[in-house]
Structure 1
Amino acid sequence: MKIIKLILCTLFGLMFINAGLDKFLHYMPIPPIEPEMQKVNEAFGTIVWLMPLIGFIELIGGLLFIIPKTRALGAIVILPVMVGIIIHNAVYMPEGLAIAGVLLLINIWMIIDNREKYKKLICS
């Protein structure tokens, strides 16, 4: 079970590191998108600080998630982005919900797995 957790957490972290880096370096090709989605992307683009902030959170969260000692913090850091991904996919791209759902489940699993660490924050 430990090896499965290590592999899933490493892949999860690498996916978010990749997504975060792409927000700064723009190396992944953008597939053709529907006009409604194009409007959403343009709206996000008008908020000049939003994508760099999300990219930074994805990058840091992904790095923290890979390292077992910092995984609990990484799971919490990446959770708001993960919720945004789920909502975005539910509204605009339902075909992406399967992958997003699996990622959310991995994130929730790590939060539950580290619940003892969070108790110190809540019940101090």
Structure 2
Amino acid sequence: LVDGCAVQIVDIKNNKLVLYEEKLAGILMQAQLKDIPVMVVSVAGLFRAGKSFLLNLLVKYFSHGCSPNWMDDQESTLNGFLWKSGAERVTTGIWMWSKVFITGPDDRKVRGHQMKL
């Protein structure tokens, strides 16, 4: 059910940030986004604090069309953004989901969504 994948758009090399402009443009310049507002949700936090887990929850929520019953789907798993147990770092830099989720009214005005956990 979940379409898309995690894409690294910024990496850290030699203590400098490296932007992968082509990857970012490939996500944000999709034809269906022309002339509609875009909202970016970002997650930042401490090392090994559950950021990827939270992002996977958000992907599942939006993949289910922001339905109040989004957690009822026992078939789909929380995957997409890499994570694993232990003390070793899994992801660095900035990552985005490759599929843009278009939600809200047909006139595409940006509105907040209240996610029910």
Structure number with the higher strand fraction is 2
Structure number with the higher helix fraction is 1
Name which structure has the greater RCO, CA cutoff 8 Å, separation 6+.
2
TM-score normalised to structure 2 length: 0.30
TM-score normalised to structure 1 length: 0.29
